[in-house]
Amino acid sequence: MKYEKKIPMRKDCGLHLFKELLNGKWKLMLIYYISTGFKRPGELQRKICTADRRVLANQLNELVVHGFVSKVIFDTKVPKVEYELTDLGKSLLPVILNLEAWGESNRAVLERALTV
């Protein structure tokens, strides 16, 4: 059962489009890791081990529904699933790397800010 929003979404600028779709706690990280070759749910979960399995699964599902990631289900005896980035997902990589670079290059001051 999908959660129905009560307050309308904001689509008035690119910042809000980004936020409405990619605000999830692990979404950008998932896209990044998928881009670096971690494609299977189990792999991703081990990579992001502080996140609960179901939270990651929910975020991955949303990424699929919104068209950032596609899900490939293999018809093998033992269940096997792989995620891969769509073109839309790939278009996000430069943005993610930019965000990551900003954060890392300001790490010292940002960590101090977090303690205030």
Q: Using CB under 8 A as the criterion, which residues of the chain lie in contact with a copy of itself when the complex forms?
A: 9-11, 13-21, 23, 25, 28-29, 32, 50, 65-67, 88, 91-92, 94-96, 98-107, 109-111, 113-114, 116
Residue 77 interaction partner, one of DNA, a copy of itself, none, beta carbon < 5-8 Å per kind: DNA
Closest distance of CB 111 from DNA, Å: 17
Q: Which stretch binds DNA (CB under 7 A): 18-26, 30-38, 92-100, 103-111?
A: 18-26
Q: Is 62 helix (H, G, I), strand (E, B) or coil?
A: helix
Closer residue to DNA in complex, CB, 57/96: 57
Q: Are 56 and 30 in contact (CB under 8 A)?
A: yes
- 77, 104, 113, 114: which one binds DNA (CB under 7 A): 77
Please give the Cα distance from 8 to 1 (Å, whole number).
19
Please give the Cα distance from 23 to 103 (Å, whole number).
17
Residue 50, φ and ψ in degrees, nearest 5:
-80, -10
Take residue 64 and report the two structure tokens written for it. 């699929």
